[in-house]
Amino acid sequence: MPKAQRSTTSQEFSSAAWGTWNQVAVSFYVCFSTMGISNSFGVFQSYYESNLLESYSASTISWIGTTQGFLLSLVSFLSGPLYDKGYVRYLFYVGSALNVVGLLGTSFAAQYATIFLAFGVALGLGCGILYVPAIALVSSHFEETGADLPTAIAMTGSSIGGIVYPILFRQLVQAVGFFSTCRVFAGINGALLLAACLFVKPKEVKKEEEMEEGREDRPRPPLTWRALLDWKLLAFGGLALLMNVGIDVPFYFIPTFVRNQLKLSPEVGDSLLAGLNASSLFGRLFLNWLAEHSNALVVWQFTILITGVLLFWWFTINNLEGIIEFVICYGFVDGGLISLIAPSLRTLYRDEGDEAAFGARLGIVEGLQGVGFLIGPPIAGAILDSPAGYLGVSVFNGTLFFVLSFLVGVFFTRKILVKESSKKEKKDDSRNQLLQPDQPNQPYQLDQPDQSGRLAD
C-alpha cells in the first residue's frame, strides 16, 4: 500500500474512532445529569424532612423521588421507539430543556405541590426522554460484540453524578443556601446537556454498506408492537421489574438504619450514600467487562444471587465497620445489576440474529423497571413501620433476590432449549432438502417408433 494511501486510511480510522468514542462522552454527560441526580435524592429527602417540608412524613416526601425515578423509566416506552425512528436530536433538545427547567423550578418551589411538579414531574420527564436514547446511542456506534464495555463506561456517569451531587449539595447549602444550590445544579446540568446536544450524532448506514449486504432494494419491514412484545421481552421485563422492587431499598433506608439502629450521626448516613454510588462505579466497569468476555445473562444471574446474600447480611450489622463493608459490597453489585440490563437484552436477541429496534425494546424494559422502582421503597417502608422492622426489610428483599436469581436461571435455560430446538429443526429441514431432489426420478424409456416406423428424433 502506498504511503499516502496508508496515511489517508489512518486519518479516516482516527476520525471514525474519535466520532465513536465521542458518543460515549455524550452518553456519559446524560447519565451524569439524569441518573446521577436521581441517585442523589437522599440528600434532598434529608433536607426537606428538616426544613421546607418538616410537617410532612418521610414517606410522603419520598414520593417526590420515586415519582421522578418512575417517570425516568416510564417515558422510555416512548423515547425508545422515537430513537429508533431517528428523532434522537429532538429527544435530546426536549429532554435537556425539561431537565434544566425542573431543577430551576425546584429552586423557586417552597410548597409540596410545586416541589412535586418541579422535581418529581418536570425533572422526571426530562430524564426519561434522555436516558434510553443515550444508552442506545452507544450500542449503535460499536460492533455488537464490543458494546458492553463502552456502555458501562458511559453509565459510570450515573455513579460519578451520585458521588458529586451529594458532596456538592452539603457544601453549597452551607455556603449559599438550598435554592442557590438547585440553581448551581441546573447550571451544571445545562452545560453538560448543551455539550451532549451539540455532539450527539446518530449512526447512519452508508449506501455502500447496504449494497454490500444486498439490502439496497430490500427495505426493512416495519416493526409492530406485536413483534416487539414477544415472550422473551415480556419475561425479561418482568424480571427487571422484580429486581427494581428491591434494588434501591438500601439507598433509601441506609441513612435511617445508621441513625436509628447504629445510633450514629446523620452525616455518616449521607456519606455512606455517596459511598454506595462510588462503589457502584467499579461494579459497572468490572461486571460489564466480565459480561463482554462471557455471557451477560449468566453474569446478571450470579450478580442477583450475590445481592440476595448481601441483603440477608444487612440486618445482622451492628457497628460502623460492618455497615461500611456492606456499602462497599452492595454498591459494587448494584452497579452491575443496573448496567447489565442493556448487555443482557442485547445478548438475548443477538444470539438469534434479531437485533433490530434495540432502543424500543430497551425502552419497554426500562418502563417496566419504573413500576418496580415506584412500588419498592413504599413496600419496604410499610414493612419497616411494622413490628418486623429492619429484619423484615432485609429478609423480604433477600428472599426476593433469591427467587429472582432462580427465575433468571429458568429463563436462561428455557432460552437455550428453544434455541437448540430451532437449530435442530433448521438442520432437519436442510437434510431433507438434500435428500429430496428437485425433480423426481423418471424411469428410463426407449424411444418409440412413430407410424412410419422411424425412431423419434
Query: What is the domain range of residue 133?
Result: 18-201+228-431
Name the DSSP letter for residue 248. T
Note whether residue 157 is domain-resident.
yes
Query: Rounded to whole angstroms, how far apart are CA atoms 310 and 302?
Result: 13
DSSP structural state of residue 230:
-
Contacts of 31 by beta carbon, 8 Å cutoff, 6+ apart: 131, 134, 135, 154, 155, 156, 157, 158, 161
- Looking at residue 91, which CATH number applies to its domain? 1.20.1250.20
Asked whether residue 219 is domain-assigned, the answer is no
Minimum mean pLDDT range among 58-67, 307-316, 344-353: 344-353
Residue 436, domain member (yes or no): no
Q: Determine the pLDDT at residue 230.
A: 74
Measured distance CA(298)–CA(164) in Å, rounded: 32
Answer whether residue 405 is part of any domain: yes
Judged against a pLDDT cut of 90, whether residue 182 lies above it is answered with yes
CA distance 365 to 345: 9
d(CA 181, CA 177): 6
Q: Is residue 447 part of a domain?
A: no
Residue 52 lies in a domain: yes
Amino acid at 25: A
Average pLDDT over residues 328-354: 80
**Side-chain half-sphere exposure of 425, counting CA atoms within 13 A:** 6
DSSP designation for 120? I
H helix intervals, 351-388: 358-385
What pTM was estimated for this model as a whole? Answer: 0.71
Looking at residue 448, its pLDDT comes to 53
Q: How far apart are the first and last CA of the chain?
A: 61
Burial class of 103 by CB neighbour count within 10 A (0 to 12, 13 to 18, 19+): buried
For residue 114, what pLDDT is reported?
Answer: 94
Of 102-106, 217-221, 280-284, the range with the lowest mean pLDDT is 217-221
| Residue at 151 is within a domain | yes
| pLDDT class of 93 with cuts at 50, 70, 90 | very high
Residue 23, pLDDT above cutoff 70: yes
Query: Which pLDDT tens digit goes with each residue over 355-376?
Result: 556 767 777 887 788 888 888 8
d(CA 127, CA 103): 11
281 falls within a domain: yes
Residue 377's pLDDT is: 81
Q: What are phi and psi of 184, to 5 degrees?
A: -65, -45
pLDDT at 208: 43
Percent of the chain with pLDDT over 70: 76
Number of domains in the chain: 1
- Kindly report, residue by residue over 112-141, the tens digit of the pLDDT: 999 999 999 999 999 989 988 888 888 776
Q: Which three cell numbers stand for residue 342?
A: 442493556
